[in-house]
């Protein structure tokens, strides 16, 4: 297997775990703040046994970046969970092309050699741009009733900050001993997220008995496990990817997985299958553009 495919494999698994994460809250309709605290805490518990296998780089920027990314993701997760609990889970899908394009452009701006690379490889450039356009259009038509100006105003800033988080992650996580470094980076993120969300939970007066109800505990455990898996696969994919925007565009598969799952379970879903197929085609095109 060529190294160029690792980012795609981990990116696809990231989209699957991310879809499960969103579906769990759609089913349980839990309070987003309480569930955010639960899932971050459970993720820490899931990762702690792997401390002996983790790598802790000497670069201070690694730890500063982990804190910054954790703060960004804390806000994004609450937005996603809130939209999911309102039965607007795929509203967050409009953030995917914004995040992907922003990450793509930021990385090109940060790394000058990428400009020369895309100029020297016009076929790759055309394939990447086509994949981004196809995925963006498909996400729009997948469920256009989900998209409105107010929802866009909420999601767009979070998408751009997610893009920054992806770029920062790729800059600071070393490719050598990637998985051990990724494990420590993800653990640090969830520790910071637990503290930050726990603080706001107390401030909002939501640290109450409802947090320990059976439904909340079950939802928290499920989202915690799959959130840890989703984030770990995201970090590995971003580091391997030629551009962090590539991993972000693979997240366009999230509503496709949900659509197929709902079809199998005979759950009502107004998503358009043709748009889903277009997303799959865009992902195949993007992966093929980096397979050389």
Give CA–CA dist 44/225, Å, rounded: 9
Q: Is residue 97 part of a domain?
A: yes
118: pLDDT strictly greater than 60: yes
Greater confidence (211 vs 108) lies with 108
Look at the chain and report how many structural domains it folds into.
Answer: 1
**What integer pLDDT is reported at residue 123 of this predicted model?**
93
Q: Is residue 81 part of a domain?
A: yes
Q: Where is mean pLDDT largest: 26-40, 43-57, 78-92, 134-148?
A: 43-57
Q: Where is mean pLDDT largest: 4-18, 84-98, 140-154, 191-205?
A: 4-18
Per-residue confidence band for 81, with pLDDT thresholds at 50, 70 and 90: low
- The answer to which of 63-67, 82-86, 118-122, 211-215 has the lowest mean pLDDT is 82-86
Per-residue confidence band for 1, with pLDDT thresholds at 50, 70 and 90: very low
Token digits for 279?
A: 């997303």
Query: Mean of the pLDDT values across residues 213-217?
Result: 89
**What integer pLDDT is reported at residue 124 of this predicted model?**
93
Q: Is residue 153 part of a domain?
A: yes
Mean pLDDT, rounded, of the chain? 87
Token digits for 179?
A: 């998985």
Q: Is residue 240 part of a domain?
A: yes
* Residues of the domain holding 11: 3-120+148-251
Q: Is residue 67 part of a domain?
A: yes
Q: Is residue 99 part of a domain?
A: yes
Neighbours of 265 (CB within 10 A): 8
Give CA–CA dist 183/232, Å, rounded: 7
Q: Is residue 277 part of a domain?
A: no
Q: Is residue 49 part of a domain?
A: yes
Greater confidence (80 vs 40) lies with 40
């Amino acid at each position: 297997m060529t190294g160029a495919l690792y980012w795609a494999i981990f990116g696809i698994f990231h989209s699957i775990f991310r879809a499960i994460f969103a579906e769990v809250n759609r089913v349980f309709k839990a309070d987003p703040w309480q569930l955010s605290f639960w899932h971050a805490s459970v993720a820490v518990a899931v990762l702690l046994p792997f401390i002996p296998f983790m790598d802790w780089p000497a670069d201070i920027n690694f730890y500063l970046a982990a804190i910054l990314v954790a703060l960004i993701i804390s806000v994004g997760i609450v937005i996603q969970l809130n939209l999911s609990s309102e039965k607007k889970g795929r509203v967050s899908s409009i953030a995917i092309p914004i995040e992907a394009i922003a990450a793509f452009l930021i990385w090109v701006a940060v790394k000058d050699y990428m400009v020369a690379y895309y100029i020297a490889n016009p076929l790759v450039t055309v394939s990447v741009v086509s994949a981004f356009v196809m995925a963006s259009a498909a996400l729009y038509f997948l469920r256009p009733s989900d998209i409105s100006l107010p929802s866009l105003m909420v999601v767009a800033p979070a998408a751009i900050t997610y893009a920054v988080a992806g770029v920062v992650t790729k800059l600071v996580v070393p490719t050598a001993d990637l998985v051990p470094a990724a494990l420590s980076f993800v653990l640090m993120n969830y520790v910071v997220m637990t503290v930050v969300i726990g603080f706001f939970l107390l401030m909002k007066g939501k640290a109450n008995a409802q947090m320990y109800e059976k439904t909340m505990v079950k939802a928290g455990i499920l989202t915690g496990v799959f959130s840890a898996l989703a984030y770990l696969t995201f970090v590995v994919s971003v580091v391997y990817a030629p551009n962090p925007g590539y991993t972000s565009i693979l997240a366009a598969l999230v509503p496709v997985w949900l659509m197929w799952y709902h079809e199998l379970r005979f759950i009502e879903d107004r998503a358009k299958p043709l748009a889903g197929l277009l997303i799959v085609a865009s992902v195949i095109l993007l992966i093929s553009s980096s397979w050389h």
